[in-house]
Structure 1
Amino acid sequence: MQRQLPFFFLLTLTTALGLNSCQNRSISEENKSNLPGEGVTVTPTYVSLEERFQTEVVNIGLEKLGYKIGKMRELEPALMHTDLAEGGLDYTAAHWQQLGRKFYENSGGDQKLEKVGVIVDNAVQGYLIDRATAQKYEITNLEQLQDPEIAKIFDTDGDGKANLVGCNAGWGCETIINHHLEAYDLNATVEHESGKYFALMADVMARYRQDKPILYYTWTPLWTSSVLVPGQDVQWLEVPYTSLPKTSTSSANLDTTYQGKNLGFVTDKIMILANETFAQSHPSAIALMEQVQIPIADVSAQNQRLREGEDSASDIRRHAQTWVKEHEERFQQWLDNAQSKSGEAETGRQGKPMMIND
């Protein structure tokens, strides 16, 4: 005969399970509402599509802390810094410490902006020419372009001057390139082509495929050095001596050498920059931003995927999600550390540890 459980026992068990279920649901709901970013929308900004990847990595962390990400804005450097300072934007993961110094100071500096952390270190800039031309004419230094015969090798429009593909008008690198041309007495023989950089680089790539001489400026991290590999396809040019505009860099660090060559540009740091009011109001967000670091090789590799066609917003978001998954343990530690800051200013409450897969 099948043994029957007493009715009182069944009633007690059912009631206990129901209470436990309600309690768990209550705890879950409470934990969800205890996230430090609950109810806060964050608006990020960047300069070029190639910087959206590192921005998305930060966004993923902010979302785990409860923040909602507003529409990201792609802006020119001067406007980006101004809008950040005025509070129309909250943060960027694309501030170059030295290259963007003028934009930072002109937007109010430390009074309105806060340098939070270095997200990409050892960013390099400089001038390159194709290796075949470098070897044929023994060109190693930008100063050699003072010679009209050498400069003419890189003439692409028939005016007798070398055509140097530079960077967009209004960018910090434009100022430095123009300064170099004057400081090294190159204005008479070299023309700085300043326009839409990636359109200009498409022409550089086409000339290279046709075995024609090329002369261009670039920076890292960027896909250009994956396609035209320094030391293999192209060669860095040295400058005769270091000369930089006073507004472009601080005098505290003028190390412009890379792999034993003086490239003329300070080895830079790409930083996360936040609006000062936002930074003071959201310590958990700032604590996360202080920690996020992405190897320069990872950014360059992602940029190459952009060039190969994976350049939609959803593509870049997927790239960032994959990077986070591949660095799960480190990312989780960043979240835990940031979560420990909750309550200092934004909510006054203790939140639960957020897991990457939540």
Structure 2
Amino acid sequence: MMQSRLKALSKTLFSLTAAASFSALTMSSIASAAEAMPGKGVEITPIFPTIAEERFRGEIAIAGLEALGYEVEEPKETEYATLMLALSYGDADFSVHAWEELHKTFYKKAGGDDTLVKAGNVIPGVLQGYLIDKKTAEKHNITQLTDLKKPEIAKLFDADDDGKADLTGCNPGWGCELVIDHHIEAYGLGDTVNHNRGSYFALMADTITRYNEGQSILYYTWVPQWIAGVLVENEDVVWLEVPQTDLPDGNNSVNTSFNGKNLGFAVDQIQSILNKDFAEENPAATKFLSLVQISASDESAQNLKMQNGEKSMKDIKRHAQEWISANQAKYDSWLEAARTAM
């Protein structure tokens, strides 16, 4: 009798121990799953510019956030100043398109550090400035933007026969529009240079056509993007220098030099930016977006694919996945760091 009772007690203890072990194992599995997908059940709304050529880096970011479990909504699209305001008001959660220097005014007007969070450099070493075709530069010894103060030099770039140089510039509302307008006034170019603004890539398509027809061209651009692969620096075109740094916000101590030339624009970096409340409530997303980084040359190469016909949204998403596969170890390390963020 005693032996039977001992056997029954032993079975009961074994069952209880097994149940406890199973429960602990189950809780551990649940915890591990939660760590692997810290964004599960959380909706996140991106906001990007309307420029298709800048969607590539956004798709890289979206893929990672989805891997962390976030439900990423279709991105909203708008111009940069409105983009900052939407993030500040909580109408969107993140972007990967904030230029640290160029968009500084937009950032401050939208609330700055009180409502927004900057989280890492998505693309470091971004260049901006003015270029002309190399043939005209060498023939007329043009090296400075201020050479255009001379009517005979300005007329070389006159596309509409009004006697002024036609400078292919920016979309209304872009940060570069403010800088170009400021430069024209600051360097005394108002009588000899027109800032042609509108749809940038449509204007540049016309500029490239004129170059291919053998005409002189003057334009603003930035790198990374596909134009640098069509009008190649030091082969087709050259940068123009400015006599001294003079920026609209008065921050003239910022670095504007590249390869010994003062380009007049800050050598910039493009950053991830988040709504502050969202950033604080979602440390995994904030950590991941702080680590996402691609090179200017990678984005320029992808943009050139778009220019060569691979420009559908399906193509852009495929380009992003190809980039991730080519950089898998680094990408996985970003995800791992995000999963352990507190």
2:193 corresponding residue in structure 1: 190
Name the CA shift for 1:40/1:166 in 2 (closer, same or farther; >3 Å): same
1:349 corresponding residue in structure 2: none
Scaled by the length of structure 2, the TM-score of the pair is 0.90
CA-to-aligned-CA distance 1:90-124 (integer Å, 9 cap, x gap): 11100000000011001000011000110100000
2:9 corresponding residue in structure 1: none
Name the CA shift for 1:25/1:311 in 2 (closer, same or farther; >3 Å): farther
CA-to-aligned-CA distance 1:66-99 (integer Å, 9 cap, x gap): 0011011221011111101000111110000000
Tell me how far apart the structure 1 counterparts of residues 245 and 337 of structure 2 sit (CA, whole Å): 41
1:15 corresponding residue in structure 2: none
Tell me how far apart the structure 1 counterparts of residues 210 and 103 of structure 2 sit (CA, whole Å): 31
Q: Does structure 2 conserve the Cα–Cα contact (< 8 Å) formed by 1:96 and 1:270?
A: yes
**Residues 1:117 and 2:128 aligned together:** no
The residue type equivalent to 2:305 in the other structure is R
Name the CA shift for 1:317/1:28 in 2 (closer, same or farther; >3 Å): farther
Tell me how far apart the structure 2 counterparts of residues 315 and 95 of structure 1 sit (CA, whole Å): 24
CA-to-aligned-CA distance 1:165-219 (integer Å, 9 cap, x gap): 0010110000000000001100000000011000000100100110000000000
CA-to-aligned-CA distance 1:301-346 (integer Å, 9 cap, x gap): 01111111211111111111111111111111111111011xx3xx
Which stretches in structure 1 are left out of the alignment for 5+ residues?
1-18, 345-358
Q: How does 1:158-169 map to 2 (within 5 A)?
A: 158-169=161-172
2:265 corresponding residue in structure 1: 265
Name the CA shift for 1:132/1:290 in 2 (closer, same or farther; >3 Å): same
1:318 corresponding residue in structure 2: 318
Instruction: Describe the SS at the equivalent of 2:157.
Output: coil
Which stretches in structure 2 are left out of the alignment for 5+ residues?
1-18
2:44 to 36, 42, 45: 42
**Residues 1:211 and 2:202 aligned together:** no
Count residues in correspondence.
321
**Residues 1:157 and 2:160 aligned together:** yes
Tell me how far apart the structure 1 counterparts of residues 31 and 340 of structure 2 sit (CA, whole Å): 17
Tell me how far apart the structure 2 counterparts of residues 143 and 189 of structure 1 sit (CA, whole Å): 10
Q: How does 1:50-129 map to 2 (within 5 A)?
A: 50-129=53-132
Instruction: Describe the SS at the equivalent of 1:115.
Output: strand
The residue type equivalent to 1:275 in the other structure is N
1:240 corresponding residue in structure 2: 243
Q: Give the CA deviation at 1:257.
A: 0.6
Q: Give the CA deviation at 1:26.
A: 9.7
Q: Does structure 2 conserve the Cα–Cα contact (< 8 Å) formed by 1:51 and 1:93?
A: no
Instruction: Describe the SS at the equivalent of 1:297.
Output: helix
Question: Percentage identity across aligned positions?
Answer: 45
The residue type equivalent to 1:288 in the other structure is F
Scaled by the length of structure 1, the TM-score of the pair is 0.86
**Residues 1:221 and 2:224 aligned together:** yes
Q: Does structure 2 conserve the Cα–Cα contact (< 8 Å) formed by 1:256 and 1:267?
A: yes
Tell me how far apart the structure 2 counterparts of residues 133 and 36 of structure 1 sit (CA, whole Å): 57
